[in-house]
Amino acid sequence: MKRQVLTNFTIAGFSYYDGALHFSKLEIGTPLRIVWEKDNRYDENALALYYGDAKLGFVPKAVNATISKIIQSGYEIFECVVNRLDPTEHPENQVGVTLYVVEREGENKG
Report all structural domains of the chain as residue ranges with CATH numbers, in order of start: 2-103 (3.30.70.2330)
Query: Average pLDDT by consecutive 10-residue portion of the chain (110 residues)?
Result: 93 91 95 96 96 96 95 94 95 94 70
Query: Integer distance in angstroms from the first to the last C-alpha of the chain?
Result: 17
The phi and psi torsions of 15 (rounded to 5 degrees) equal -80, -5
d(CA 81, CA 96): 9
| Dist. CA 54–CA 12, nearest whole Å | 15
Q: Cβ of 36: how many Cβ atoms within 10 Å?
A: 19
d(C-alpha 13, C-alpha 58), whole Å? 6
Tell me if 67 sits within 8 A of 59, measured CB to CB: yes
So what's the pLDDT on residue 106? 62
